[in-house]
Structure 1
């Protein structure tokens, strides 16, 4: 498998049901922008706290030492606790990640837990070395899923979150260009048992056909082969050696034929 990093590197997850889900690993640019947002918030919190502490403690030499000590403690608590707190209550998101539509997941696509959150953020201090996330940036650049050292240690990955499902999106017609049937094809479906496909099956096939051009060649080929194998098993068809994508298109096209036959019979 090609290990060259890519800003659109797909992260493939196979669910216990055998369904393959495709995420897009978050790259350097999106993760850096999210970090900038988070650190602007952290700096704002620290600056506000410094003003409040200074106003309460006064400006004497002894009080200045107290202010510096309190500020150092506060900086550690806020810098470390900020990420742990938000990633815990927002299930893998901070304000910056939420704005950029990023989310931390466990490897394998599982939701991140508090243990992984604590570990990945404790390692942030090492990722920051020697300056401005030096180690973290190098690790993210060479890792195919752009994981920093904290992610590798905690077994996490940051991915782009899918767009939320809204009524407007549901009501939009799904347009997938399928090759036409042969002129001499019969009016009945050419795929046995195609009526067994469920709404969830169809949604998965349509999702793949709509997004396949966004995937890298190898990921696209692997996902198509997996879906074709699942389809053959679901429809009790023998294994085949043809192009998986053409097979998926063929099944979807013949499903529409089967639905048209049913509609005519009901009418």
Structure 2
């Protein structure tokens, strides 16, 4: 299957590995949603068309709302999953890994007409084939991704401790090192923790004797970096 991997680092320094969905699973999800939309439209057509012109007008309004807002409704209220996407294990998110919002969902779905040209979503298919994240035109403009919905299970967590702000600004790479060290401390012996902490003497040691030192101090800094409150 033509799928790839996309690694994203959140502002909390949590690395998320996303698996963008290729055009085949997305196509099957689209067909399922299309069939459901047609069934819903048929159910509405039976009673509304019995009322002549008024019924026809009401039917056309419902047709417009279902055709354009069916995916928006499900994507915004059901964590980026239309019924078709849910059955295929897919969901829509922002390209930074956050849940999709109303404006992005409206943009990506209202631009389906551009993906449809010149016939049968040809532009959308070409866009997905040349984009390494398989994004159609609507996804590119809205800043969204269709990914496999895989429940995230954290393998490591930072042990809870009193947050300690570092004495000086840390680069993003240094922050990641400190948080990664703290996540792995439960599986390390105390001597090994201190041995590794000694590799970062400017962070693990401080002239303030009343403050924690060594591995304990690094764990406290990690708690500060991930945003835990005292």
Q: Under TM normalisation by the shorter chain, which class is it?
A: 0.5 to 0.7
Q: Alpha carbon RMSD of aligned pairs, Å?
A: 3.4
Residues 74-99 of structure 1, C-alpha deviation per residue, up to 9 Å, x if partnerless? 32211101011111111211111111
Equivalent in the alignment of 1:191: none
Of the three residues 183, 197, 200, the one matched with 2:157 is 200
1:13–1:21 contact (8 Å) kept in structure 2: yes
Tell me the equivalent position of 2:84.
96
Which structure 2 residue ranges, 5 or more long, are not aligned?
159-171, 193-230
Equivalent-residue separation in structure 2 for 1:155 and 1:128 (angstroms): 19
- Distance of 2:45 and 2:114 partners within structure 1: 26
Counterpart in 2 of 1:158? 146
Output the CA distance in 2 between the equivalents of 1:67 and 1:129: 31
Match of 1:46 among 38, 41, 44: 41
2:7 to 7, 12, 19: 12
Residues 37 and 12 of structure 1: is their aligned pair in 2 closer, same or farther, counting only changes over 3 Å? same
Cα distance in 2 between the residues matched to 1:95 and 1:118: 17
For residues 157 and 234 of structure 1, what CA distance do their matches in structure 2 show? 27
Aligned-partner Cα distance in 1 for 2:179–2:92 = 33
Runs of 4 or more consecutive aligned structure 1 residues displaced over 3 Å after TM superposition? 65-73, 229-236, 254-259
Residue of structure 1 equivalent to 2:163: none
| 2:117 corresponding residue in structure 1 | 129
Size of the alignment, in residue pairs?
179
Q: Which residue of 2 aligns with 1:60?
A: none
Return the alpha-carbon distance in structure 1 between the equivalents of residues 74 and 91 of structure 2: 11
Q: Determine the C-alpha separation between the residues in 2 that align with 1:76 and 1:49.
A: 12
**Under a length normalisation based on structure 1, what TM-score does the superposition of the two structures give?**
0.57
Q: TM-score, normalised by structure 2?
A: 0.66
C-alpha separation between the residues in 2 aligned to 1:81 and 1:119? 11
Check conservation: 2:48, 2:56, Cα contact below 8 A: no
